[in-house]
Amino acid sequence: MSISRIASLTLAVLPVLACKSTPGAEDTNDTDGTDGIDDMGECDVGDGDCEAAPRPGPTPIRRLTRVEYDNTIYQLFGDNSHPADAFPPDEEAGGFDNQADVLVVSPLLAESYLSAAEQLAATHTPTLMQQLPHCQGDSVDEASCEGDADAFVRSFGKLVFRRPLTDEEVGTYVELFARGTTLAQVPYSPDMGVQLVVQALLQSPHFIYRVELGMADPRAGDVVALTHYEIASRLSYLLWNSMPDALLFEAADAERLHDPAELEAQARRMLDTPRAHEAVGNFHRQWLHLDEIEPVILANGKDPEIYPEFYDGLPSLWRSETEAFIDHVVFEEDANLESLLTAPYTMMNEELAGFYGVDGPTGIGFTRVDLDPGKYAGFMTQPGLMALFAKPDRSSPIHRGMFVRETILCQTPPPPPDNVPEPPSVDESQTTREQFAQHAEDPVCAGCHALMDPIGFGFEHFDGIGRYRATEWGLEVDAAGELKGTDVDGTFDGAVELAHRLASSDQVKACVVSQWFRFGYGRYETEEDEDSIAELHAAFAASDYDIKELIVALTQTDAFRYRHAIQED
């Protein structure tokens, strides 16, 4: 049997993993028979003073996304080749690419895992062999070499599986190592054994999936606490999109991660690192559609006669602007939701300052530049989103209003009818607002567009490439709008007033909590999550709507710390 086929046998267990127990689910270092429950400050359910039983909601098994896979490979090997770029794209649900229900392993993806494992193992085995000193040289003592292989499987395997391997698992991989040493043309080939082990580890469901089966003993009913290593992985993939670091492994080894205070301390430590910037950016790229700015705008183009200033390099600058702005607000300023929505400044470099037509920085680096607070407010008035939600030849009140309704308010308008009329052609004798007035008059259109157009009209001071304008075709722009069906209903004049109205909305704040819940936990909320969501709302409000405090609060809920025990068939 070939090396590739032996290693790929591990993929055969993928479909049944979620319904089987796994070695290492117990807390093997526990000595008092409580499996760490006492460490959590909890009590016997029969005790009258006992706190309410946890309600964790569903806990679907989650496959690593392409981003998480590449980041984890980098942490394991220092390999920055991004092998997951060659994988099929991750499926999306609810606007995010990390939702467990759609992250399946197709035959094509399984083959991609095999190819990546083969390439990575071949590339990095020479370096990994340094961890097996008794396997070096022309004359190798096989018994001593196998002892090194045992130690290697335990140390490297712990990193790959993100938990210690059981003795049975170690034995399986050491046996695989021994078999691999006989597959080369030379009599004894330890490097081939290591290469085979690495291939197998990288195709194991315990690497490809974030396996979370919980402790052996229930906390209450069928609810179990996650193991310390499972919590370490939850923390690292939430805050870093990657595997735990040495300090998290140390905390898991010492069984400290059932303590909410320790969880909070670790979360704050991790948020104060460069890796957290990328994870927070990943959320906002997906939530706000920033990752669509370049491909969608470049695919659709902009009319060169109407927008001669547009060139293909602008969308990349626009996306970088909004990403830099969000990063600055969250990590350099107060991390306040209101600032994201209403701040009268942005981040720009020299080239982007030229687009804005303002005096700005020199060079390619992005720095803060104050803007006219009567014209600009937060990310919604930045050109990337304004150009994304526009047509090639004009602005689009429909798409801009839909963006606010769906993305910022978490409200879904009814679907359009089958007989949607064609939009009007550009008419230089009318403003876009005047042309789209037909939506309010046509009964086929009015129902849906009454929820979108009055919001979108508030952005009419921004043309199809996101430049501020006072007139359109020489006609004065009317940016008056109205919010309906929200907790901050009323009229407003322009995007700045709209942004400030939305910043005061409890529905917007609740929407942000919901979006972080879905991104952070890889699933939609359920009725059983009411307590966890209430905790998140309370923590967000108590922090004056600080994004970083909301992220910390995600680590404190029942949904983060517990799961329902898996019932074996």
Instruction: State the average pLDDT over residues 61-68.
Output: 97
Q: Which whole number is the average pLDDT over 53-68? A: 95
Give me the mean pLDDT over the 527-534 stretch: 96
Kindly state whether residues 320 and 441 are assigned to the same domain.
Answer: yes
Scanning 378-460, the segments in alpha helix (DSSP H) are: 383-388, 397-403, 432-435, 438-441, 443-456
**For residue 264, is it within any domain?**
no
Same domain, 205 and 328: no
Residue 257 inside a domain? The answer is no
Q: Are residues 348 and 476 in the same domain?
A: yes
Owning domain of residue 150: 3-40+60-212
Task: State the sign of the Cα–Cα–Cα–Cα dihedral 494, 496, 501, 507.
Answer: positive
Q: Where are the alpha helices (DSSP H) in 63-166?
A: 66-77, 107-128, 142-161
Listed in sequence order, the residues at least 6 apart from 174 whose beta carbon sits closer than 8 Å to its beta carbon are 146, 149, 150, 153
| Same domain as 205, residue 354 | no
Q: What was the pLDDT predicted at 569?
A: 59
| C-beta separation of 271 from 556 below 8 A | no
Check pLDDT > 80 for residue 551: yes
Check residues 152 and 20 and name the one with the higher pLDDT: 152
220 falls within a domain: no
Is 545 a member of any domain?
Answer: no
Which range (31-40, 248-257, 505-514) has the least confidence?
31-40
Residue 275 lies in a domain: no
Confidence (pLDDT) at 236: 98
Q: What average pLDDT score do residues 450-470 get?
A: 95
Residue 479 counted as domain residue? yes
In a 13 Å sphere around the CA of 320, the CA atoms on its Cβ side amount to: 15
Domains held by the chain: number: 2
Q: Considering only CA atoms, which of 385, 373, 253, 377 is closest in space to residue 319?
A: 385
- Which of 7-16, 244-253, 467-476 is least confident? 7-16
219 and 562 in contact (C-beta within 8 Å)? yes
Where does a domain end: 503, 531, 553?
503
Last residue of a domain, one of 212, 239, 273: 212
**DSSP code, position 465:** T
Task: Say yes or no: 192 and 318 in one domain.
Answer: no
| CA separation for the pair 348, 246 (Å, rounded) | 37
Percent of the chain topping pLDDT 90: 80
Q: Is pLDDT above 50 for 43?
A: no
CA distances from 299 to 295, 393, 415, 429 (A): 6, 14, 25, 29
Same domain, 315 and 435: yes
For residues 201 and 350, membership in a common domain is answered with: no
Percent of the chain that is helix, strand, coil (3-state, to 5):
55, 10, 40
pLDDT of residue 184: 75
The pLDDT value recorded for residue 442 is 64
> If pLDDT is split at 50, 70 and 90, which confidence band does 51 have?
low
Q: What is the pLDDT of residue 439?
A: 58
User: Strands 209-210 and 62-63: what pairing?
Assistant: antiparallel
The contacts of residue 355 (CB under 8 Å, 6+ apart) are 309, 314, 317, 383, 467
Domain assignment of residue 126, yes or no: yes
> 379-416: string of b/e by CB count within 10 Å (b at 16+)?
bbbbbbbbbbbbbbebbbbbebbbbbbebbbeeebeee
CA distance 203 to 8: 7
Q: Give the pLDDT of residue 441.
A: 64
Q: Is residue 203 domain-shared with residue 319, that is, in the same domain?
A: no
- Residues 430-453 have a mean pLDDT of 75
Q: pTM score > 0.85 for this model?
A: yes
pLDDT band at 430 (very low <50, low <70, confident <90, very high): very high
Residues 196, 340: one domain?
A: no
17-26, 129-138, 395-404: least confident range: 17-26
130 burial via Cβ count (<10 Å: 0-12, 13-18, 19+): exposed
Give 219-271 pLDDT, tens digit per residue.
888 999 999 999 999 999 999 999 999 999 999 999 999 999 999 999 999 99
Choose among 73, 65, 68, 176: nearest CA to 121: 73
pLDDT in the model for residue 425: 76
Identity at 507, one-letter amino acid code: Q
How far apart CA 397 and CA 45 sit, in angstroms, is 56
The more confident residue out of 45 and 514 is: 514
Q: Does 334 share its domain with 197?
A: no
User: What's the mean per-residue pLDDT of the chain?
Assistant: 90
**Cβ atoms 469, 479 nearer than 8 A:** no
Q: What is the pLDDT of residue 49?
A: 38
Alpha carbon distances (Å) from 394 to 429, 430, 472: 14, 12, 10
| Predicted pLDDT at 419 | 64
Q: Beta-carbon neighbour count of residue 84 at 10 Å?
A: 21
Mean pLDDT of 533-552: 98
Q: How far is CA 83 from CA 86, 116, 119, 352, 449, in A?
A: 6, 6, 9, 33, 44
Q: Is residue 219 situated within a structural domain?
A: no
